[in-house]
Structure 1
């Protein structure tokens, strides 16, 4: 199974990005997780652009090639980040999310508004949110490094369980 993982944060020290990198490292055999790195390079969405720029087409193609999607995004001002919303807006006019199994990861239990908004957006785009694969982890304020996350058996176990739930949903 091929999974594309998208972090809604562009910060170098993002907990969400760290979480997705750890997920890729601890993925069970037969599950490949690739972290999408181009969110910050996407131009602002403009519906007047008839032919999507190459970077947008590359995201669409990566989503179409994936068997499942994992999205981890922080909350800014009670909403998703502009970066993730922009990326999703570019995908509205194509079939990249139609019936695609999606897991939503949340690194902060306080980020309920963004989580709900993200769920609504991808559901409207005809994706299938896999409840058993979606996960909230209390990482905000824990001051964990990526290495500490990777060494934590509980975090690694939850991330593996997320991937196995996505695989079972296929």
Structure 2
């Protein structure tokens, strides 16, 4: 879904998809020294260089998947996320537990998390091509474009 949204957003918005959460070592305060582990430094640099974050994640056992929680943990004591605008997208009719947990966690780590900016589609079990096709339909495209416009406005304030 993130890649399809990035395609729809072009050329008005530059959306980079970070898909290397699995490369991050397990968070430990002992590793938060200079230099950071390479994978963490790459992640932190991407967060620092962006205007805002759009987070999308499946639910795993009614919770935030461990990899995403680990990524967030790497940012908790850092300045890069504190004032970063953040919004959520979700690609399933299920997953309200992970969304509720993410809202709590993200509102804790960022002063600019918006629970009002939210995009949701029912795309579970669709292939990437089917997702792109679904989002490219006029109604889906309008929803994505409206979400991105509102998020860009939020990032600019």
TM-score when scaled to structure 2? 0.87
Query: 1:101-156, CA deviations, whole angstroms, 9 ceiling, x for partnerless residues?
Result: 11101111321110011111111102422344312222225677234234322222
In structure 2, the residue matched to 1:81 is 65
In structure 2, the residue matched to 1:37 is 19
Q: Give me the whole-angstrom Cα distance separating, in 2, the residues matched to 1:41 and 1:141.
A: 25
Q: Which has the higher helix share?
A: 2
3-state SS in 1 of match to 2:148: helix
Query: 1:58-94, CA deviations, whole angstroms, 9 ceiling, x for partnerless residues?
Result: 1111111100110000001110111111111111110
How many pairs are equivalent?
Answer: 152
Structure 1 ranges of 4+ moved more than 4 A:
141-144
Q: How does 1:1-170 map to 2 (within 5 A)?
A: 19-51=1-33, 52-140=36-124, 145-169=130-154, 170=156
For structure 1, list consecutive stretches of 5 or more residues without a partner in the other structure.
1-18
Q: Which has the higher strand share?
A: 1
CA-atom RMSD, angstroms? Answer: 1.9
For structure 2, list consecutive stretches of 5 or more residues without a partner in the other structure.
none
TM-score when scaled to structure 1? 0.81
Q: Give me the whole-angstrom Cα distance separating, in 2, the residues matched to 1:154 and 1:141.
A: 20
| Residues 27, 33 of structure 1: 8 Å contact kept | yes
